Structure 1
Amino acid sequence: MVFKSIIAGFLVVVFCGSVVSADTPGYQKVAWQSLGLDSGGTIQDIEICSSDNRVIYAASDVGGFMKSVNRGRSWQVMNDGLKGDFATLKVCDIAIDPSNHDTLYIITGEGFRPERGGVFKSTNAGESWQLLTDELWSYGNGPMRNWGDLLAVDPQNPKHVFVGTARKGVYQSLDAGKTWRYCGLKGQHVSSLWLEKAKGVNTLWVSARGEEGGLYRSQGPMSDWQAILEKTDIWHVTRSPGKDRALYVSAGTQGVLKSTDQDAHRWQQINTGFDETIRCVEVAVTPDCPDIIYAVSNRPKVHGIYRSTDAGHSWLKVPANQDDISRKGWNLSNGTWLGLSSVKCMAIDPIDTDRIYVGDWHAVFASEDSGKHWQVYPEGLETLCVYTVKASPLDPNRLYAGVMDIGIMVSHDAGKTFFHPDSVSNEFAMTWDETPAFAVSNKNPDEVIAAITRDWKNPHDGTLIISNDGGYQWQRIHRGLPPFGILCVAQSDQNQNKLFVTIENHGVYRSLDKGQSWQSCADGLPDTFGKYTSWAPASVHISPTNDSVIYARDRRLGIFKSVDSGDSWTCVSKVNQNATLAFSKENPNRIYAGYYKSGIRKSDNGGKDWQRIFPNEKGQMSCVGIENIPGDPNAWIAIGSAGFAPNQKHIGVYYTTDNGQTWKKLMSQGLDHDVILSMSYCPQTHKLYIGTNGGGAFVGQLQ
């Protein structure tokens, strides 16, 4: 997965329907349940318990820490103590204390904001986590992400723990993580550690990435360092347990380097059999047969695993399984995992060395015959980033989810099962893998419109698609639109042929014939409106009572209003934050805005004036969704996210029955992820649907 950590302020826009005579629900709590999308974020480390090989741990770049007790066949997310800050859910590496296998260490960090993260410890096999320090972190995702062995525990003295960081160098703890001391290599992008004891003296090998990277060695006090390889991009270092005690380094595009001399002064490149464009990121040596070695490559178009049976003198690529190894209709069908996804890490079972595990972009794969045959194990790996989940207003059993790196997911049974349109029949295949927004028809239960792009980081290529059969088949409706990323789509409640979209770097466009033709609506909008930012794409919203009244929002520029279907615009708010907007049909001039950094505001005059209504403290709520409860125009429900800002106070579901004057927090049960991206409400079933940044999607029954 890439960054796999993003869009925390993603827009959810809801226009609330007319009220009918009914008692206002007295909601007290929300009972949450995972929708079970399974798999998701990049699996970048796998560790196997050496005393019980049924127990396996996995690290995700967005979803935190996972555990399996049945050799990977199913997983449980275990993030107790990691929640509250999205950076702590980006786990780079896991280390098991060799003297007590219930004691675990992890290092986390945000690749796009690397000043955040930390080192955590568990003494109950991952059931809960304790922060040891937030001063040491690495890159959990992003372009310089790490998935090497960044933690090392001394097997002779398990209180001695080493950690490699992003740019801060190497640190050591002598008291099992209570305190840390600096050992050196500041400024280096540490990618892996290898700790060994020779002649009674500890030796620590450290690899570092980048043009200024290399391989370094320190002995004894861990303060004096010797440069073994300089100005070399090294991803991983490991030692063979064989007689020759060979040292292997994964040197990126240089492949694998090997040294057998005691001081590691002489090196040879052992790349016979590799593709020319390989990027080697890890080498794993079979414990009981050191001549059998695996190398992992994750370079685009040459992803895969290579196997050597002669200590690296020659390599053969492990073939991709041609059988359909998918256990879900949508999940990596046709068994193309080695060609489709990006292999990140692997682990060899220390007890049964024919069994190997691979972590890739979406799931964990296992082979029991050294890579000849594979099974995919996504069950319980709830690490997806879900932009939004929408329920059909006409059929609550129909759900549409927009998922990062996967695209559109559809359910026709209220979320019990999902399918990916690609697994049915679809011209867009997996190349269109970002779906930031849906417009679900309120007149035709089979109709849904989706905005899709190729890449969340640089969505310079996007399109608009429509399905008229409940999400099975799709066709483009983009003629006349600029070939750039479509960030939001809105459909009129009164006239279903009337659509608006926001387009990266091109502002707002309008269609009066359901996408057959389009025209620009940029008059009055700043030239920079819609300039893309992955954290908060620009959006457009249509009044539920008068579809000539349009609102357009840009994170940096504020909110703009048009009363002539987009022919001209006026700025009505200059608050430069991401916002979630909601409107009341009872009073079309009443607008609620949930802000990313400043909670909920309200306007009673069409956006001309605003007042903060919750919370009173500035910067204490990141509101990512707000909706009216049909039956009472004064009853509203909102949700606060841990978001991208730490120390958020108001996280969870809040409820008001007096038009926003007072709010109470509803009790929450079953929700183990608080970095929430979006919320939608189904009034027929009294259910909330949320998408999270790394925890998949959840449905909550209001009670």
Structure 2
Amino acid sequence: MQKLMLVAICLLLAVSSFAQIAPTPANERIKGLEKKSDLIRQSTINDVAFRNIGPSIMSGRVVDLAVNPANPNEFYVAYATGGLWYTHNNGQSFTPVFDSANVITIGAIAVDWSSGTIWVGTGEVNSSRSSYAGLGIYKSVNKGKSWQYMGLPESHHIGKIVLHPSNKNIAWVAVLGHLYSPNKERGVYKTTDGGKTWKQTLFVNDNTGVVDLDIQPNNASVLYAAAWYRTRTASNFEESGASSGIYKSTDGGNSWHLVTTNGAGFPVGKGVGRIGIATAYQHPNWVYAVVDNNFHLPDTAKKHTDTSKYTINDFKNLTKEQFLALDNKKFNAFLRIRRNGFPEKYTAENIKEKVSNGTLKPSCIWDYLMDANAALFNTPIIGCEVYRSEDAGKTWKKMNEKQLKLYNTYGYYFGKIFVSPANDNKVVITGFDIELSEDGGKTFKPINNALTHADHHVAWLNPKNDSHIIIGNDAGCNITYDDGEHWFKANTPSVGQFYSVTFDMAKPYNVYGGLQDNGSWYGPSNHQENPGWMASGDYAFKPINGGDGMQVQVDWRDNTTVYSGYQFGNYMRSNKHKRASVDEPDADAAPEDNHLNVTAADEKNEKSDSTIYIHPHADLGEEPLRFNWQTPILLSRHNQDILYYGSNKFQRSMHRGEHLETISNDLTTNPPQGNVPFGTLTTISESPLRFGMLYAGADDGSLHISFDDGYTWQSINEGLPKGLYVSRVTASAYKEGRVYVSLNGYRNDDFKPYLFVSEDYGKHWKSIGNDLPYESINVVKEDNKLPNIIYVGTDGGLYVSNNNGNSFMAWNKGLPYSIPVHDIAIQPVANEIILGTHGRSIYIASLSEIQKKLKQ
């Protein structure tokens, strides 16, 4: 109870600190689309086209599928941020059909195969760190050749679209609503005129939306809706609540009543998280539900651990007496595990002595290894459960006989269930694995394998041959014809979700970047996608590390030494041609798994091509460091032996990542902590004109400058909006005192473009980019040859200014109409701009013609 109260207080404080940041009203976003059209129409550079260089091999997150039951070779694949793609040849090739739409992020699709009508609900419902808000419903009556906007602009995230089986004018939509703010436009919406008008027929409360929806086969009067209470802020994620539950309608969705009430057999109360629902086909009154049950396991149900060695959990909540009674042999073995990062000076004996005399607390080991995610990942919850009602929702029975380990405390990322149209006892559930039951949910078995990646979101079972299954996961689309014994990938589109991009100085140069849940990769800048590589088995892009790929830095002196890593600041230095032997985590793995496991052969750090793990720790007894999901690193171009690193403090290595030292105080406001790391650095920049002049920005709006290589720092955020995420700070290469900063309100559902420049080292700021549309800004970059040109990447595309930011024009030739541009790099020798998009991989264009057109 005390922990819950603490989290609630942290949440309240976090919300109040952002009270001045209001969500962007839908009408402002729509006006922004008009502004964007003007910036495209007025652009003088939009005849210069981008080329896509892939990669496609790792694909991107699939959130929905629509398959033609009469011809399963024909289907649509919806990507979270990569648009909608169509295949007519069983996934051998795909064509994008949604690239002209105002927003490319998708939550759900539905297709009327008899007429070729497609419905798209924008904004995925996975509630993750890069789940972008949509603008409502789009519809095409000509198989995607053109699109009509059908409204629901405040929906933001749509979980399901259900079409009436016989009336083409009737459809129902499950609206989850805003991710980072409460809103009333949640619930179930119904249209009776083909989407021209909508009626909200189910509303629960401002923080409870509808995440899933299904209709009883052969009876369009009966529908079921899964309501889900969840809130998210920059510092805390609440993924369950008492208002979560299943609603039923018996009048075609015009009215609803709650069926998961006390005594019905389904979980009720604050621990009820995301719910997925599916109706059966042969038994009309059967309804399946999968629930993310966040109620705690009883103490007797805690997971058994290997008693021959200690794990992190053995150091949790110890009293002084319990700590002193720890076995020294096992304790010392735990301290020497490299990934735990304990300095050699510590032994079980001297730590116990410090605990005994009160110098250290009994919690010192736990505190040393845990970050702000501990409350989220180390809570012993029940997790995934499957229920079935055999009386149309009146009563429910738990079906799974054993605990399902489909996900831990991150069921918000999955939570769907699918029933075979040919067999009501054949059920598929999605999570880290994808699991199949053939006995109505009593027992399940994983059916994924090495070809399917992990983190599954959708499945389709062929009604004529239910061993034929198509699935979507974080790495694309897979197809099986034998219930998962064998799979093949259907991943030809370039839909990688890049967080970052950079380059080397080779000829031709290589491009590097980190991707959502697909590691870090590099490949040649002149790459052209071609399936012919399968004949040789040698794809041009190569992996560097796994996990969620983050920042990458390359030593230009050899174009071989690479600094890369994964979420929450786990980095390594390696030779890109000798990939490290590592145990890397899934995107949402527990913290005890979020450590790079370097092999013994890599312990010899004196070798220039050896792999070393880079992750700082506070000393025992100190407040733990905090790490952003996208922890920033930067290799100094003045001296490429120097690596800069940002937790909530500033770290520096003078020796190529070795001997990383913390040399600053906390550079954030040290805000109250929830279960999401907050009060962390997000961006670092070093002046190209002055060695050791550094800038650092944070997720709480803190912004600092150092003139002495990071030893001392001055706050420079006076005059800037407070409490916004500093997405990028960029020191100018043309004037020493000039610096650009972009702020991002995404984590407040504030989509205003915040862009500023200072000419005096951040003492005074000027707002620029005031003609940009309402799209959150991710990056600002100077041109490499002309000081008047700057480039801005937003969640909607790329914009260019030729007057230092006073006005902008769009540059999107060769790009989808709207695509999140997460990062921009400029290769100076080739004079090319590189875009890292979060959904369509990497684009490159020459800057020569741009510079000629915009030269003043």
Cα distance between partner residues in 2 of 1:106 and 1:621: 21
Judge conservation of contact 1:109–1:137 (CA < 8 Å) in 2.
Answer: no
Pairing of 1:278-427 with structure 2 (within 5 A): 281-287=415-421, 289-290=422-423, 293-298=426-431, 303-308=433-438, 312=440, 315=443, 317=445, 319-321=447-449, 334-335=450-451, 337=452, 341-350=454-463, 352-380=465-493, 382=495, 384-412=496-524, 414-416=526-528, 417-421=539-543
Judge conservation of contact 1:405–1:433 (CA < 8 Å) in 2.
Answer: yes
Shift of residue 553, structure 1, vs aligned partner: 2.7
Cα distance between partner residues in 1 of 2:706 and 2:693: 5
Judge conservation of contact 2:426–2:437 (CA < 8 Å) in 1.
Answer: yes
**1:628 aligned partner:** 783
Query: Measured at CA, do residues 479 and 672 of structure 1 come closer, stay the same or move farther in structure 2, by a change above 3 Å?
Result: closer
Aligned-CA RMSD value = 3.9
Are 1:192 and 2:212 an aligned pair?
yes
| 1:327-355 deviation digits (Å, cap 9, x = unpaired) | xxxxxxx43x3xx5122221023455442
Shift of residue 681, structure 1, vs aligned partner: 1.0
Cα distance between partner residues in 2 of 1:663 and 1:258: 56
Shift of residue 60, structure 1, vs aligned partner: 2.7
| 1:601-647 deviation digits (Å, cap 9, x = unpaired) | 444444444445544689788372322333xx54534134246xxxx
**2:737 aligned partner:** 589
Of 280, 291, 294, which residue of structure 2 is paired with 1:240? 280
Shift of residue 319, structure 1, vs aligned partner: 4.1
Are 1:152 and 2:266 an aligned pair?
no
SS in 2 for 1:35: strand
Cα distance between partner residues in 2 of 1:96 and 1:511: 55
Q: Of Structure 1 and Structure 2, which has the larger fraction of its residues in helix?
A: 2
Query: Measured at CA, do residues 236 and 523 of structure 1 come closer, stay the same or move farther in structure 2, by a change above 3 Å?
Result: closer
Judge conservation of contact 2:570–2:615 (CA < 8 Å) in 1.
Answer: no
Of 517, 526, 532, which residue of structure 1 is paired with 2:659? 517
SS in 2 for 1:405: coil
**1:15 aligned partner:** none
Cα distance between partner residues in 1 of 2:389 and 2:645: 58
Are 1:679 and 2:807 an aligned pair?
no
Are 1:488 and 2:628 an aligned pair?
no
Cα distance between partner residues in 1 of 2:224 and 2:736: 66
TM-score, normalised via structure 2 length: 0.63
Larger RCO of the pair (alpha carbons < 8 Å, separation 6+) = 1
Query: Measured at CA, do residues 434 and 544 of structure 1 come closer, stay the same or move farther in structure 2, by a change above 3 Å?
Result: same
Cα distance between partner residues in 1 of 2:843 and 2:134: 27
Of 110, 119, 140, which residue of structure 1 is paired with 2:137? 119
SS in 2 for 1:541: strand
SS in 2 for 1:30: coil
Query: Measured at CA, do residues 45 and 517 of structure 1 come closer, stay the same or move farther in structure 2, by a change above 3 Å?
Result: same
Query: Measured at CA, do residues 304 and 634 of structure 1 come closer, stay the same or move farther in structure 2, by a change above 3 Å?
Result: closer
Shift of residue 517, structure 1, vs aligned partner: 1.9
Query: Measured at CA, do residues 123 and 549 of structure 1 come closer, stay the same or move farther in structure 2, by a change above 3 Å?
Result: same
Judge conservation of contact 1:522–1:568 (CA < 8 Å) in 2.
Answer: yes
Code of the aligned partner of 1:134: L
Pairing of 1:606-625 with structure 2 (within 5 A): 606-612=761-767, 614-615=769-770, 622=777, 624-625=779-780
Code of the aligned partner of 1:654: V
**2:111 aligned partner:** 96
Q: Of Structure 1 and Structure 2, which has the larger fraction of its residues in strand?
A: 1
SS in 2 for 1:344: strand
Of 65, 70, 74, which residue of structure 2 is paired with 1:55? 74
Are 1:75 and 2:115 an aligned pair?
no
| 1:568-606 deviation digits (Å, cap 9, x = unpaired) | 223344325536444455543343445555565444444
Query: Measured at CA, do residues 496 and 362 of structure 1 come closer, stay the same or move farther in structure 2, by a change above 3 Å?
Result: same
Are 1:475 and 2:611 an aligned pair?
yes
How many corresponding residue pairs? 613
**2:173 aligned partner:** 163
**2:571 aligned partner:** 464
Code of the aligned partner of 2:503: A
Are 1:30 and 2:145 an aligned pair?
no
Query: Measured at CA, do residues 223 and 604 of structure 1 come closer, stay the same or move farther in structure 2, by a change above 3 Å?
Result: closer
Query: Measured at CA, do residues 558 and 165 of structure 1 come closer, stay the same or move farther in structure 2, by a change above 3 Å?
Result: closer
Shift of residue 469, structure 1, vs aligned partner: 4.6
Cα distance between partner residues in 1 of 2:679 and 2:761: 26
State the identity as a percent.
19
Cα distance between partner residues in 2 of 1:344 and 1:674: 22
Are 1:175 and 2:193 an aligned pair?
yes
| 1:416-475 deviation digits (Å, cap 9, x = unpaired) | 4554536xxxxxx64x4241x23322333222323x343xxxx2xx33322345674562
**1:328 aligned partner:** none
Query: Measured at CA, do residues 665 and 502 of structure 1 come closer, stay the same or move farther in structure 2, by a change above 3 Å?
Result: same
Query: Measured at CA, do residues 676 and 471 of structure 1 come closer, stay the same or move farther in structure 2, by a change above 3 Å?
Result: farther
Shift of residue 29, structure 1, vs aligned partner: 4.1
Query: Measured at CA, do residues 617 and 516 of structure 1 come closer, stay the same or move farther in structure 2, by a change above 3 Å?
Result: closer
| Residue segments in structure 2 that go unaligned for 5+ positions in a row | 1-43, 178-185, 229-239, 267-271, 292-382, 408-413, 529-538, 581-609, 619-624, 745-751, 850-856
Shift of residue 65, structure 1, vs aligned partner: 2.5
| 1:197-247 deviation digits (Å, cap 9, x = unpaired) | 77x8722233444654444332236444454433635834434333x4451
Query: Measured at CA, do residues 407 and 107 of structure 1 come closer, stay the same or move farther in structure 2, by a change above 3 Å?
Result: closer
Judge conservation of contact 1:510–1:518 (CA < 8 Å) in 2.
Answer: yes
**1:538 aligned partner:** 682
Judge conservation of contact 1:246–1:258 (CA < 8 Å) in 2.
Answer: no
Query: Measured at CA, do residues 525 and 182 of structure 1 come closer, stay the same or move farther in structure 2, by a change above 3 Å?
Result: closer
Code of the aligned partner of 1:674: I
Code of the aligned partner of 2:281: P
Judge conservation of contact 2:696–2:729 (CA < 8 Å) in 1.
Answer: no
TM-score, normalised via structure 1 length: 0.76
| Residue segments in structure 1 that go unaligned for 5+ positions in a row | 1-25, 141-145, 322-333, 423-428, 644-650
